[in-house]
Chain A
Amino acid sequence: MPKHTIADILRGLEAKTFSSEEITQQYLDAIAKHDSKFNSFITVTGEQALSQARAADTARQKGAAGALCGVPIAHKDIFCTEGVRTSCASKMLDNFIAPYNATVVDRLASAGVVTLGKTNLDEFAMGSSNETSFYGPVRNPWNTDCVPGGSSGGSAAAIAAGMAPAATGTDTGGSIRQPAALCGLTGLKPTYGRVSRYGMIAFASSLDQGGPMAKTAEDNALLLQAMAGFDHRDSTSMNVAVPDYVAGLSKDLSGLKIGVPKEYFSDGLAPDIAAAIEASLDVYRKMGAEIKTISLPHTHLAVPCYYIIAPAEASTNLSRFDGVRYGYRCENPKDLDDLYTRTRAEGFGAEVKRRILIGTYALSSGFYDAYYRKAQQIRRLIKQDFDEAFKSVDIIAGPTTPNPAFALGEKVSDPVTMYLEDIYTIAVNLAGLPAISLPAGFTQGKPIGLQLIGRDFDETTLLAAAHQYQQRSDWHQQAAPGSV
């Protein structure tokens, strides 16, 4: 039963094959029975979920069902949920009961979703392997010796293991797309400003964007429909009309021009992944798309640029965690300075501290121009590469990651090697563009992700291109060996 998609669940609820309470209970049972193998949930909200499910069943009986009425999903534990612990996988927020809901949580609740719980992530979303969580690493259901990717690794593993049909994620440098790729899922990073960041704990404010993770592009469209839209509470929210994403899935794509960046097929790319991406391009050719080689000449600068901008913004954002108003406070501070410095030393993990220190360095007197300003200039060059490419193509296609899921512990001691795993995803955040990762094959029994990048606010074409590929392939229907 838990192999359902959201679309399946909506059909089942509509046909009264099962109630929301029944299907919610099944997912809760699956979590209780199996999550000890994966560690994908930090908090399970069973009682609340069942009460939401009963309310959804009543609403549906009364003919007052929202678009996602009664569909159980999970939230990445970076979205504030009123009355429920919102930890961001950090000791700093282990005791933090959010006093309000993130806009994404409110909007999905208005559409009728049931919340199963809060999923694990890299601490403050800083990581590509879900190994930096205060609550321990998450394991990949395709191979439990491997990481699920990160930072939305708990969301990805929960879906791939059949413990939730879908979940929310956030993506600052690839944190939705990379775990989606490594766990055989479909995940969308919307255009910067498309989904409200209000109540989404900030990592790097000019890059962070919330989005959906699920098995199919259709489910991504259903979720994005509920999540997207202007929010006056987020000062960077963009007031751009939200189209009908579900209707857009069947958009006519004949003559679609797909650009393939030559820089994405260089030395670091695993041969099996290159072959799978080539094969998926053939599928698009058969659909009538025109494939053309393009160049994004500043690709090699995306990771260096990101590792100044993201830590700089993080060092600023994370200055709020000082032990005064909420969250962790050290024992017996002897003075105010001791309170600050010891709270932060004890409350943050190693990767978070490292990034705060790098960000502090990049913003400090004497280094600002050489690092932060330089990175912002490079950021514009990267954005201009995409602007130039989109003059002649409609979408850009390539691998989501250079390698499949790697072993737990393999890269954790070498941050730079880990950072380079995000080489294809990071430039998209710097440019603010929407991008989707979808399953496109396997290597050594591990999933491969195809990344499609779109023009600003054109999620519709990405969802349509992913959906129509999924009508012609069954990679997204494969079940992980570790799934329920």
Chain B
Amino acid sequence: MSLDQNDIAKLARLARINIAETETAELSERIGDILNMVDAMQAVDTANVVAMANPHDAIQRLRADEVTESNHREKFQQIAPQTADGLYLVPQVIE
């Protein structure tokens, strides 16, 4: 299994990580090595095996739909890169 330049570009796009063209050759080789290693799984017949997402097969615990936390907006926004009027600022999206 190996990934070409287009595959890496697609993954970079999905993951929202800017990958320079100079990095793609090494990345595709390293990722290819890892995919070759994980391919050992394909030799196992798992047709009747139920997928396991949680080691205890626990299901999501739910709580009563009540307000339990107070508002910490000002405290949380103190560490934000850019805010104004209680809002997080990002570059303009809509003209």
Say how far A234's CB is from chain B's closest CB, in angstroms.
10
Instruction: Tell me whether A322 and B16 are in contact (CB under 8 A).
Output: yes
Is the Cβ of A374 less than 8 Å from the Cβ of B30? no
> Inside 8 A of B75's CB, which chain A residues have their CB?
99
Interface flags, A366-397, vs B, CB<8A=1, else 0: 00001101111111110100000000000000
Decide if B93 is an interface residue (CB 8 Å cutoff). Answer: yes
> Is A456 close to B, CB under 8 A?
yes
Are A380 and B42 within 8 A (Cβ)? no
A69 proximal to B (CB < 8 A) = no
Contact A235 B15 (CB under 8 A): no
Given contacts A358-B31, A415-B34, contact A305 B41 (CB under 8 A): yes
Majority secondary structure, A binding face: helix
A370 engages B42 (CB within 8 Å): yes
- Which residues from chain B contact A60 at a C-beta distance below 8 Å? none
> How many A-B pairs with Cβ below 8 Å?
162
A307 CB-CB contact with B under 8 Å: yes
Interface residues of A in 282-325 (CB under 8 A from B): 298, 300-301, 303-305, 307-308, 315, 319, 322-325
**How far in angstroms is the closest Cβ of chain B from A102?**
16
Given contacts A206-B54, A325-B80, A380-B51, contact A357 B15 (CB under 8 A): yes
| Tally of A interface residues using CB under 8 Å | 70
A-B contacts, 10 listed (Cβ < 8 Å): A97-B79, A206-B55, A235-B61, A322-B16, A325-B80, A326-B76, A334-B91, A358-B35, A361-B31, A373-B51
Show the binding face of A for B, using Cβ within 8 Å. 95-97, 99, 192-193, 206, 232, 235-236, 238, 298, 300-301, 303-305, 307-308, 315, 319, 322-327, 329, 333-342, 344-345, 348, 353-354, 356-358, 360-361, 364, 370-371, 373-381, 383, 414-416, 419, 430-433, 456
Q: A358-B34, A373-B51, A376-B53 are in contact. List 13 more A-B contacts (CB 8 A).
A: A206-B54, A326-B76, A339-B91, A341-B12, A353-B19, A357-B12, A374-B41, A374-B46, A375-B38, A377-B49, A378-B46, A380-B49, A381-B49
